[in-house]
Amino acid sequence: MLKGHGGNIYDLAQQLGCHPSNIVDMSSNMNPLGPPEDLVDLLQENIKTIATLPEVDANRTVNMFAGRYDIDPERVIAGNGTTQFIYSIPRLLETKKALIFGPTYADYADACAMHHIPYDYSNSEESVDFEHDIKAAAQQIQDYDAVFICNPNNPTGNIIPTSDLEHLCKSHADVNFVIDESYLMFIDGSNKQSMIRSTLPNVMVLNSMSKFFTIPGLRIGFLISSPVVIKKFKTYLLPWSVNSLAQMAVQYLMRQTTQVEKFIKNTVNFIARERDILFETFKNSSAIKLFPSNTSFILARLYGNLTADGLGNHLAQDRILIRNCANFNGLSDRFVRFSLKTSEINRMFAKKLLARISQEESAGKDEEKMNIEHRTSNIEF
């Protein structure tokens, strides 16, 4: 199994001699308000369904998902999380050479590597807050037959406007575009930003329930594309790929009850408010820069003597886990990512991070003062 992921609460808990539940996992990009209480109650009440096989092709679940987004069910397939599709796409599409918009989620590269398919990165730059230059990318795409784009992107948190994506995909009709929208629901007006209703035959959209509804353990994801592509995937899809509780969860969420709608709205508002507070807290710091984000997580750049390893180890002593971004192609050990949690946890995290940064800034000032004193001491009058 290929591993390109980050923090592991189980490893840290073992190192600290505590239970994983005692770790504040700010490396995980899950909705801090989820899962919805009504959904949890539903799953608990129906736990006995695990004693029987689920619907073999998750057909009802697919139909409810398609109905929710007003798309043709023949353009949708359900699987055991979007990861299942990511690792299948290079092989099923017979990809020759892939381009990955980075810095981004490692599984796209790992999926290509698993099938011995060469790949390259089109990395955005720190100097423009990691916003992609679509015109430049359009020129680069000509040499590839598949492109992976995480939108909004992990770990940078930025988003490429739908109009730009549509134009890019139309302009390269012979290239397969994989658009991963796993974090899109965290954005206000996500329906308008989604490519899920695109009928372009070269577009594949990945939709995940895991992040927004905090149900990663249920493993449920969807691939939306042309009927031709979906039929090809169905040929290789294993029976009973989606378990019974996962199917039940999606069917509940797709009904869009008042409770679900309220949960979605509350989440979007909460994330925006908490994100603004953190940006305001660190806006004048010389030791850390927070990059603009549209999601529940924030990418940060460290300065001075601060490194991802050093800061991570420091916070780990307080049982706080953040994401070291050194293994993202295009980033370095000067980058970390942290995800928003409850207001209480966010304040606690900000306080501890401020304390560590204050130490660094004070040490920097002391060092600068010593350097000045050293230089002036050698001046002859």
**Can you give the CATH number for the domain in which 283 is found?**
3.90.1150.10
Q: Considering the domain boundaries, does residue 377 fall inside one?
A: no
Identify whether residues 116 and 95 lie together within a single domain.
Answer: yes
Q: Considering the domain boundaries, does residue 3 fall inside one?
A: no
Is pTM beyond 0.95 here?
Answer: no
Identify whether residues 218 and 366 lie together within a single domain.
Answer: no
Q: What pLDDT score was predicted for residue 12?
A: 86
Identify whether residues 104 and 63 lie together within a single domain.
Answer: yes
Q: Considering the domain boundaries, does residue 4 fall inside one?
A: no
Identify whether residues 100 and 224 lie together within a single domain.
Answer: yes
Q: Considering the domain boundaries, does residue 72 fall inside one?
A: yes
Alpha helices in the chain (DSSP H): 9-16, 37-45, 59-69, 82-92, 107-114, 134-141, 162-171, 190-193, 210-213, 227-236, 244-254, 258-282, 308-316, 343-377
Give SS3 for 122.
strand
What secondary structure does DSSP assign to 15-29, as a single string?
HHTS-GGGSEETTS-
Identify whether residues 178 and 285 lie together within a single domain.
Answer: no
**In the listed set 255, 276, 304, which residue is the last one of a domain according to the structure?**
255
Q: How many domains does the structure of the chain reveal? A: 2
- Indicate the burial class of 4 (C-beta count within 10 angstroms; 0-12, 13-18, 19 or more): middle
d(CA 89, CA 138): 22
d(CA 229, CA 165): 19
Q: Considering the domain boundaries, does residue 45 fall inside one?
A: yes
**Can you give the CATH number for the domain in which 171 is found?**
3.40.640.10
Identify whether residues 55 and 191 lie together within a single domain.
Answer: yes
Q: Considering the domain boundaries, does residue 42 fall inside one?
A: yes
Helices and strands counted in the chain (H then E): 14, 13
Identify whether residues 50 and 121 lie together within a single domain.
Answer: yes
Q: Which of 174, 147, 144 is nearest to 89 (CA)?
A: 147
**In the listed set 208, 226, 255, which residue is the last one of a domain according to the structure?**
255
End-to-end CA gap in the chain: 69
d(CA 268, CA 178): 25
Identify whether residues 232 and 322 lie together within a single domain.
Answer: no
Q: Considering the domain boundaries, does residue 133 fall inside one?
A: yes
Q: Which domain range does residue 48 map to?
A: 37-255
Q: What pLDDT score was predicted for residue 372?
A: 40
Identify whether residues 192 and 136 lie together within a single domain.
Answer: yes
Using an 8 Å Cβ cutoff, are 149 and 165 in contact? yes
Q: Considering the domain boundaries, does residue 278 fall inside one?
A: yes
d(CA 300, CA 214): 24
d(CA 66, CA 83): 20
* Sequence-distant (≥ 6) Cβ neighbours of residue 253 within 8 angstroms: 39, 209, 213, 260
Q: Which of 218, 251, 235 is nearest to 81 (CA)?
A: 218
Identify whether residues 354 and 317 lie together within a single domain.
Answer: yes
Buried b (16+ CB within 10 A) or exposed e, 183-222: bbbbbeebeebbbbebeeebbbbbbbbbbbbbbbebbbbb
**In the listed set 208, 232, 255, which residue is the last one of a domain according to the structure?**
255
- Indicate the burial class of 82 (C-beta count within 10 angstroms; 0-12, 13-18, 19 or more): buried
| Measured CA angle at 122 (ends 91, 230), to 5 deg | 30
Identify whether residues 82 and 214 lie together within a single domain.
Answer: yes
Q: Could you report the average pLDDT of every consecutive run of 10 residues in the chain (381 residues)?
A: 60 86 91 93 94 94 95 97 95 96 97 97 96 92 96 96 95 97 94 94 96 94 97 92 95 88 95 96 94 96 95 94 96 97 96 90 58 47 36
Phi first, then psi, for residue 205 (nearest 5°) are: -110, 130
Identify whether residues 298 and 236 lie together within a single domain.
Answer: no
Q: What pLDDT score was predicted for residue 381?
A: 36
